[in-house]
Amino acid sequence: MFTLIVDGKEITIEDGKTILEAARENGIDIPTICWHAATTANGLCRMCVVEIEGVRLLQPACIVKAGKDMKVQTRSERVIRARRTILELLASTMDLSDAPEVLAMMDEYGASAERFPDAARRESEVKDDNPMYIRDYSKCLLCWRCVQVCAEDAQYTYAINFDGRGFKTQIGTFFDKPIPETTCVLCGQCVGVCPTGALKPKRQYLLEQGVSAEEISVMNTGRKRRKS
Amino acid sequence: MDAFDLTPVKLAIEKYIPLGRSGLLPALHAAQNIYGWVPEPVAAEIARALRVPLSDAHGVIEFYSLFYDKPTSKRVIRVCTDAACALKDADGILSRLRARHGLQPHQTPEDLSLTIEPSPCLGLCDHAPAVWTTDNGVSVVNEKGIPPSPVYGSLRLLTKNCGGETTSLKKYGEYAGLKKAKTLSREKVVDEIKASGLVGRGGAAFPAGIKWEGALKAQGDAKYVVCNADESEPGTFKDRILLLDDPHRTIEGMCIAAHAIGATKGYIYIRGEYPYIVPVLENAVNEAREAGYLEDFDIEIRVGAGAYICGEETALFESIEGKRGFPRVKPPFPTTHGLFGKPTVINNVETLCNVPLIISMGAAEYRKIGTEKSPGPKLFCLSGDVARPGVYEVPFGVTLRDLLEMAGGVADGGTLKSVLFGGAAGAFATSAHLDVKLTFEDLRESGLPLGSGVVMVFDETRDMRQVLKSLARFFAHESCGKCYPCQMGTQRQKEILDRVAEGEIRGGDFVRLQDVGWTMTDASLCGLGQTAASAVLSAMKLWPELFQG
């Protein structure tokens, strides 16, 4: 057990915890987007960055371990600017309509969805190629959770990986093969961890498209397969 | 797809099978040498042979600019469009070349006779405008062959054997530094490097001795020495010349590092845009092996495939391991968890070239070169509007004015407008900085980074907005996409600077650019994102009027 100071408040925690764990256990909210309890933290979204006294750059709370006598600020001006800008970058890039948690963060940080006029967006067609889930990468914020649970974090299936690089990164399969032609076993773990509706159960997607439950049940018998 | 005969690729990749996943980049290079690109059945065959998941193999092809998963010619002309070449009308050269061959951007004709591409900095700024042509595996620069090495300056220690032909082992002479190092204990060698004050010359300026000490003390059944020859910082070409003209200096430096930390295996990771150096290195490693220098330590050469990020040390490890070049979260640091998770010393080419010198002459004597806080010789890469572009070897402590005078001043008798210091990840200086001493301490005080030793000169006729546009284009192209600030920030920075260059400045662009820049600097995961706005933010301080409509 040791003590550190977060936002001026002295907190005592067990050894080996991250700053994020230390803060959350003590009722201090640090926002996260890519972080998930079931996946390896990679420090991608940088929403959890905090200012640590004596450290030059902001540090990701999801990875950096809390240290004895550390002085951490979770809401400094620099932190707020970084979080607000990251949210504005996201809103200018992708469709956040199915990401209520991110939209709530935008409200909280006063982030404007119109901050970057005429910005290039990552847009793609909905991929509807298997009986279980659809992939709508216009809504993907590249949290990597799906790739991670498909690989060493859970399933060891390796059906999906990354296409492109930088801003043009997208989740993809081997030479863009449809899901049934990949190693995917339709375990659904990727759908379970997706935070934005980029991966969605097909049934839910069809209901949202206005297809009735009756029509869906006919499709599912296999007698009247939807053309994919 | 059946048209592809897999027999040649099966034969070509056989030797990489024992490497497993680590053999992925070499196998993909071998496949491209055969087909010009990596067709799907070829990728599947390589993945199967190396036991790499198909999606992962495809992810790797997609990551590296020099790997293609779509039909591409075995004859590729790449026109460098980055800063120094942009000054010499690189974009015009590219579009005229395309027009002459009747090709649209991103178009390869169906007969696969020719592919023409723009390219990030080719490390040929001393030969700007640079065009690199590969035809069935043969590389030619500016339609001439292997690029010559212009070497100048007031010192010839690191560049003693540079400026002419490749130096053979016979001409280089015995590895005297290594011989001396082997008479010393590991600790003593590390102490000597620490005492010399040598810091990394790749850009980060981390004390080399501290790295070595960390790797020496680290527990591990295997340890590695890696030479970072992924020189890709726009404006930097010194390592190209060091390796091409004097490969044994680097190899000797690696051998000394291996002795110091107890490594048995080393890698030279050279950027894919320097294929003409690879046979030179292979030959030099063979010479060293035959001379008995590589008996308890061997060196393997690995070739990158078009990714600036792989100059970041942990991304470089990932690349050797056969993965996308994503930088790792640090800590843990390479000294304890480096290549294949083992203790690793990774040093830049120029850093390693200092090592034989330090051991041979002794740290005390070495420290007589340069200044107290920045000891040793330093290579600067002069390019842009300067009369004699090239690599200049000088002691730390000469001024920018000295350096420019050595280089014959601004080209064509022009007047100096500014100097980009340290590369695309650097900052701009002006004539007000002419008398700043080129040392780590003096430059830091002036807010200028030494970086990789880039001194890119711009005369008074240059539109700095065009320069910034090319820097921003570079970072948007090279961001790996791992962390959000850099993945999206480099794209937005490019879009805003494209607008600024066209004079279409919108209200709020100044603050918008600052917010993006500061966020990338402050919150990105690795050095790429943390410096992607460095030059832009420095330009905003120097010339705020450029960004306001």
Mutate to test the interface with B, among A85, A135, A173 (most CBs of B within 10 A): A85
pLDDT of residue B317: 98
ipTM score here? 0.95
Strands A170-172 and A161-163: antiparallel
Whether residue B353 contacts residue B200, with contact meaning beta carbons closer than 8 Å, is answered with no
> Which residues 6+ apart lie within 8 Å of B188 measured at CB?
none
In B, minimum Cα distance to A46 occurs at B523
CA-nearest residue to B38 within chain A is: A175
Which residues in chain A have Cβ-Cβ distances shorter than 8 Å to B487?
142, 166-167, 169
Residue with tokens 């020496």: B216
The chain-wide mean pLDDT, for chain A, equals: 94
Q: What is the 3-state secondary structure (H, E, C) of B508-528?
A: CHHHHHHHHHHHHHHHCCCHH
Nearest CA in chain B to A64: B331
* Contact with chain B for residue A43, Cβ under 8 A: yes
Distance CA B346, CA B269 (A): 10
Q: Give the pLDDT score at A218.
A: 83
Which of B398, B400, B445 shows the shortest CA–CA distance to B421? B400
Whether A140 contacts chain B with CB within 8 A:
no
Which part of chain B has CATH 1.20.1440.230? 464-547
Tell me what the mean pLDDT of segment B190-212 comes to.
96
Q: What pairs with residue A180 in β-bridges? A: none
What are B130's two structure tokens? Answer: 């640079």
Q: Which of B62, B329, B491 sits opposite A120 (nearest CB)?
A: B491
Instruction: Out of B56, B479, B522, name the one closest to residue A158 (CB).
Output: B56
User: Is B549 a residue whose pLDDT tops 90?
Assistant: no
More confident residue, B220 or B53: B53
Q: What is the pLDDT of residue B1?
A: 46
As a whole number, mean pLDDT of residues A190-205 equals: 96
* Domain boundaries for CATH 3.40.30.10 within chain B: 75-141
In a mutagenesis test of the A interface, which of B45, B310, B519, B524 is the best target, namely the one with the most A β-carbons within 10 Å?
A: B519
From B70, which residue of chain A is nearest by alpha-carbon distance?
A175
Which residues 83-102 of A have a C-beta within 8 angstroms of B?
Answer: 84-86, 88-90, 92-93
Maximum Cα interatomic distance, chain A, rounded to a whole number of Å = 66
In chain B, which segments carry CATH 3.10.20.600? 377-459
**In B284-362, at which residue ranges do the beta strands (DSSP E only) sit?**
298-303, 344-348
Sequence letter at residue B35: Y
Which CATH architecture best describes the domain B151-366?
3-Layer(aba) Sandwich (3.40)
Q: From the candidates B24, B55, B482, which should be mutated to test the interface with A, based on the most A CB atoms within 10 A? A: B55
Q: Which domains does chain A have, with CATH numbers?
A: 1-117 (3.10.20.740), 133-221 (3.30.70.20)
Q: What is B377-459's CATH number?
A: 3.10.20.600
Could A82 and B521 be called an inter-chain contact, meaning their C-beta atoms sit closer than 8 Å?
A: no
Q: What is the mean pLDDT of residues B108-131?
A: 95
pLDDT value at B368 more than 50: yes
Contact in structure between B382 and B416 (CB atoms under 8 Å): no
For the question of whether the overall pTM of this predicted structure is more than 0.95, the answer is yes
Return mean pLDDT, chain B. 96
CA distance B319 to chain A (A): 14
User: Would you call A85 and B515 a contact, using CB atoms and an 8 Å cutoff?
Assistant: yes
β A49-52/A133-135 pair status: unpaired
Answer whether residue A227 shows pLDDT above 60: no
Separation in Å, CA of A227 to nearest CA in chain B: 25
Q: Does A76 touch chain B (CB under 8 A)?
A: no
Asked if A46 lies within 8 A of B329 by C-beta distance, the reply is no
Whether residue B331 is preceded by a cis peptide bond, meaning omega within 30 degrees of 0, is yes
Of B433, B428, B438, nearest in space to B373 by CA: B438
Mean predicted confidence (pLDDT) in A70-84: 97
Q: What percent of chain B shows pLDDT beyond 70?
A: 99
Instruction: Report the alpha-carbon distance of residue B230 to residue B270 in Å, rounded.
Output: 5
Amino acid letter for position A166:
G
**pLDDT tens-digit series, residues B485-534:** 999 999 999 999 999 999 999 999 999 999 999 999 999 999 999 999 99
- DSSP one-letter code for B309: G
Q: Which of A63, A90, A162 sits opposite B329 (nearest CB)?
A: A63
The residues of chain B that CATH labels 3.40.50.11540 are 151-366
Question: Does the distance separating the beta carbons of B483 and A44 come in below 8 Å?
Answer: yes
A vs B: CB pairs below 8 A? 152
Contact at CB, A45 and B484, closer than 8 angstroms: yes
Tell me the pLDDT tens digit for each residue of A99-136. Answer: 999 999 999 999 999 999 999 999 999 999 999 999 99
**DSSP letter at B225?**
E
Q: For the residues of A198-227, what is the DSSP string, one character each? A: SEEEHHHHHHHTT--HHHHHHHHHTTTPPP
Beta strands in B356-499 (DSSP E): 377-384, 390-395, 416-421, 427-429, 454-459
User: Which of A86, A118, A159 faces B55 most closely, judged by CB atoms?
Assistant: A159
The 10 Å Cβ neighbour count of residue B444 is 13
Architecture of domain B464-547: Up-down Bundle (1.20)
Looking at CATH, the fold of the domain delimited by B75-141 is given as Glutaredoxin (3.40.30)
Closest CA relative to residue B424, chosen from B539, B525, B511, B298? B539
